[in-house]
Structure 1
C-alpha cells in the first residue's frame, strides 16, 4: 500500500517559494509601516523593488517583475497618489516616461534595502554563513531556470 505524501510535511518548490515570499513581504511591509511607510502594500513591490534611483520605464518594470504592463501602470498610479514616485519625460526618448522615485520613495528604498539585509543576516546567522550563501546561490539558479522555462512557453 502506497503511503500518501502530505503537502505540509514535504512541501514542493511552489509552496516553499510562496511561504518565503509571503513571509518576507509580511515582515517587510510591517517593518516599513513602523518606520514611516504605513500605506504601502506587498503589491507595490512589483514597482518599488525594481525601481532604479534614476528612474525606470514601466515596460522594464513589467519585464523585471513578471507583471503585465497594465498592472504596473495601475501600481504606478497608486504610488504617484501616495507620493512615492512621479512620471517624468525620459531624457533619452522624450516620447517615453520614466517612473522616478520621490524623496519619500528613496527613503522607502533605503529602508527596504536595510530591512532585507537584516533579514538575510538573521537567516545566515541561524543556518550558518556558508549554508546560507550556498542556499542563495542554488536558489538563484533555480529561480533563473524557472523564469527561463516560463518565457519559453
Structure 2
C-alpha cells in the first residue's frame, strides 16, 4: 500500500489546478482579443458588479486600499474595460462600471470556464469530477466568491 503523500502536497496541487485553469483561460482570452487581462482583473470585475461601485467600495471589497483600487481602475480604464461615471444617485460621487468590452470579457470567461470544465469531465469522468466538486464544497466555506484573494496573495 503506497504511503500517504506529505501534507503540503494537497494545497500545492489545489493551487496548481487553479493555476492550470486560469492560465488556460487567459491564453484563450488573449486569443479572443483580450491580451491585456490578468487573473486579478476577474476579481476586480466581480467586485465592480453589474451596477458599478465607487473606488473606495471597490478597495473594501478587494481588501486593498482605495489608492491601490484606483490604480487598478486607471489601468483597466486605459485598456477599455471600465469607465468612471457620475453616480446617478449622488452627483458628487464617481462610480466605476464595466464597459461593453468588460462585460464581453466576463461572458467569454464564463464560456471558456464551461469548456475547461467539460474537458476535465471528459478526462476524469463526469462522476469523478462531480465527486471532486462535492468534496471541495464539504471542506470549503459556502462563500464562493472571496474577492479579497488578490489582497491575500499580496495585493494588486
Change (3 A) 1:59 1:128: farther
Residue aligning to 2:9: 11
When structure 1 is superposed on structure 2, of 28-37 and 52-61 the one drifting more is: 52-61
Asked if 1:79 corresponds to 2:76, the answer is yes
Matched residue SS, 1:98: strand
- Please state how far the C-alpha of 1:67 moved relative to its aligned partner: 3.7
Asked if 1:109 corresponds to 2:106, the answer is yes
Return the TM-score normalized by structure 2. Answer: 0.71
When structure 1 is superposed on structure 2, of 92-101 and 103-112 the one drifting more is: 92-101
Ranges of 4+ aligned residues in structure 1 off by more than 6 Å: none
The number of aligned residues is: 141
Matched residue SS, 2:9: coil
Change (3 A) 1:125 1:92: farther
Structure 2 counterpart of 1:68, from 59, 64, 74: 64
Q: Quote the Cα distance in structure 1 between the aligned partners of 2:60 and 2:127.
A: 32
| Backbone CA RMSD of aligned residues | 3.0
- Please state how far the C-alpha of 1:62 moved relative to its aligned partner: 4.4
Unaligned runs of 5+ in 2: 147-156
Whose relative contact order is higher, 1 or 2, with alpha carbons under 8 Å and at least 6 apart?
2
Q: Quote the Cα distance in structure 2 between the aligned partners of 1:95 and 1:137.
A: 46
Residue aligning to 1:37: 34
Judge conservation of contact 1:46–1:61 (CA < 8 Å) in 2.
no
